[in-house]
Structure 1
Amino acid sequence: MKILVTGGAGYIGSVVAHSLLASGHEVVIVDDLSTGYADNLPTGVKFHEISIHDVDQAFTQRDGFDGIVHLAGKIEVGESVVRPELYWQTNIVGTLNLLDFARRARISRFVFSSTCSMYDSSGMAPLTETTAVRPASPYAHSKHMVDTVLESEARAHGLAAVSLRYANAAGAVDRLGERHEPESHLIPIVLQVAAGRRPHLMLYGTDYPTPDGTCVRDYIHVSDLAAAHLLALQHAVPYQHEIYNLGNGNGFSNLEVIETARAVTGHPIPVHVADRRAGDAVVSVASSEKARTRLGWVPARPELADIIGDAWAFAKSHEIEERS
């Protein structure tokens, strides 16, 4: 298939693009490089440095796309609270523009990068696709609105649509890893401390009702996420919008992440304990039973040590590149 990948120079998008190419698909990437990196792009791939608002100016039906994998968008929860308009404009309006192009270009398949953070996380049970949706941020709300649009688009126009609601993407594949500025995700921050780029890690809350008192989260290797995107493209059905949660189904506490990183890196990783942060869920773990059953998706690298080990290898290699 010929696939248009939006956000293909970003962390997850670049791994998806490489995986599509390795599986024999033709790939065209769109990315405005506002948060992505040109050196993430596969060698020789067709690339357009444009916004998703401008795809209809760059492509037509004659380009012959079979599907779109849509990963471009704003992802920072904190930023979405203080600047929600960015999230409406990019995540919602940008996707509406992309869907309008898909309709006119007769593109039949659409896979969307969604999020598990839209679910009600007040409970302790694994999150399923039927868990109540209660977005706690404009970011999560924008993703849910797009999921709702895709449901209508599938019913009205026959689009074969899939929303993949992720847990926390982590890990790395060779030279493709997390590079957020500023970094806001736990595993890369822990590894920045291990590498001496931060003096210590701030640990918010050690009095939660969990075995070690810290929050529990689900981490999924970025290569396993990429594999799910390929399966979603293959299994997308016209006039249907399917939602799949993607996670390991096993939670790891913040302290488990820190201790595993200490073991993997061999560095002490100093920690400063602070009070709980408002809004942090106690436990957030995704059930991926539906994806396993219907897509045949099985995570190949579910172990936390492997996820952190791959991220550490990337962090060290990237640091060497920065110094050279």
Structure 2
Amino acid sequence: MSWLVTGGAGYIGSHVVKALLDAGTDPVVVDDLSSGHREFVPDGVPFVETNLLDTDTVTATLKEHDVTGVIHLAGYKYAGESVKRPLHTYTQNVTAMVHLLEAMAATGVDKIVFSSSAATFGTPDVDLVTEDTPTAPESPYGESKLIGERLLADVATAGAVAGNVDEAGAPVPVLRHTSLRYFNVVGSGSPDLYDTSPHNLFPLVIDALRAGRTPRINGTDYATPDGTCVRDYVHVADLAVSHVAAARALEAGTPLQPVYNLGSGDGVSVRQIMDAMARVTGIDFTPEIAPRRPGDPARIVATGEAAARDLDWVMRHSLDDMVASAWEARQAHPS
């Protein structure tokens, strides 16, 4: 028996694969390599290069590898870019998820951990976001993640309806699921794995320093202690551990909430990140100051108390640890 990791050749997905292996669970990876990297998948781990829109291939993969559950990370994950590409975003994040759920239903796979996003909250008017904070996404990306959560709830409800059967007359199994919401995932759990996103803050800063350019801060006049935006920044290895804990809980039949926030509880400012980058790398620099970006809220920080209780969620890494591991992994890949 094994667990399928969609997007398992990506930055977060590859860390989840590593965490599954460390926990003694066999992973199977499906990834179309649109943003993932084949070399991120360890030798010996089954890998299928396909998009989730290819229902037949995904169904065959679930059958061939006796998959019992899915950790679903595949998708188009850029909130700002999703505003420019709404149709692409909804196709990759919503339509593809429908196809995945169809493949799961066809093969009797009834457990799924969904990689959602704190983008579902939009710009909350509270200092600390909880699972009960109202959702109000402000981008197609955030909307697509919220729709994904609702899809899971609706499919689970359908399975719970007495007498509900599929086209062949077989009972529809009750889907067991949970969704994990988080913001900025950083750092590295292995020198072989690193963030290659062209939009995320850590790789942008690190690549600028490696190229001899000066990193930039967008806006220093926010209502925060140092004037820069405050966000949750969580280490990717810590995040991966909680994905595996969620999978194991579903497998054991342990009751879980439908949604968990993987938050730091206090947040880090962009200025603090720049200071940590200079301190850890030994490269002294003064960030360039650019205007605010439209739609950037001053502060979004979530509590992780429920996840700490149920999903082994712990902030095991300091900000300097996050920077040091990201820097080391990127330095190991000069190209």
Q: TM-score normalised by the shorter chain: which range applies?
A: over 0.9
State yes or no: 1:54 paired with 2:69.
no
Q: CA deviation at 1:55?
A: 4.2
Q: What pairs with 1:151-166 in structure 2 (closer than 5 Å)?
A: 151-157=153-159, 158-166=174-182
Report the equivalent of 1:227.
Answer: 241
Q: What pairs with 1:114-263 in structure 2 (closer than 5 Å)?
A: 114-157=116-159, 158-174=174-190, 175-180=192-197, 183-195=198-210, 197=211, 199-236=213-250, 237=253, 242-263=258-279
Identify the range of structure 1 (35-44 vs 50-59) with the bigger mean alpha-carbon deviation. Answer: 50-59
8 Å Cα contact 2:185-2:236 kept in structure 1: yes
Identify the range of structure 1 (304-313 vs 113-122) with the bigger mean alpha-carbon deviation. Answer: 113-122
Letter in 2 for 1:142: S
Q: Distance in 1 between matches of 2:70 and 2:310?
A: 21
Q: CA deviation at 1:19?
A: 1.1
Q: CA deviation at 1:6?
A: 0.6
Q: CA deviation at 1:153?
A: 1.3
Sequence identity percentage: 38
Q: Distance in 2 between matches of 1:198 and 1:80?
A: 30
Identify the range of structure 1 (56-65 vs 164-173) with the bigger mean alpha-carbon deviation. Answer: 56-65
State yes or no: 1:275 paired with 2:268.
no
Q: Deviations over 1:286-319 (max 9, x none)?
A: 1111101122322322x11101110010111111
Report the equivalent of 1:108.
Answer: 110
Report how many aligned residue pairs link the two structures. 316
Q: Distance in 2 between matches of 1:256 and 1:60?
A: 44
Q: CA deviation at 1:104?
A: 1.3
Letter in 2 for 1:252: V
Residue of structure 1 aligned with 2:301, choices 280, 285, 290: 285
Q: Secondary structure at the match of 1:45?
A: coil
Report the equivalent of 1:15.
Answer: 15
Letter in 1 for 2:187: G
Letter in 2 for 1:16: V
Letter in 1 for 2:304: S
Q: Deviations over 1:162-196 (max 9, x none)?
A: 1011121000122111012xx2111221212221x
8 Å Cα contact 2:242-2:312 kept in structure 1: no
Q: CA deviation at 1:117?
A: 1.3
Q: Secondary structure at the match of 1:162?
A: strand
Change (3 A) 1:99 1:287: same
Residue of structure 2 aligned with 1:77, choices 73, 76, 79: 79
RMSD across aligned C-alpha pairs, in angstroms?
1.6
Q: Distance in 2 between matches of 1:149 and 1:238?
A: 21
Q: Deviations over 1:66-120 (max 9, x none)?
A: 1001110001112210110011111000000000111111112101110011114
For normalisation by structure 1, the TM-score amounts to: 0.93
Structure 2: runs of 5+ lacking an equivalent: 160-173
Q: Secondary structure at the match of 2:258?
A: strand
Report the equivalent of 1:297.
Answer: 313
Report the equivalent of 1:91.
Answer: 93
State yes or no: 1:309 paired with 2:324.
yes
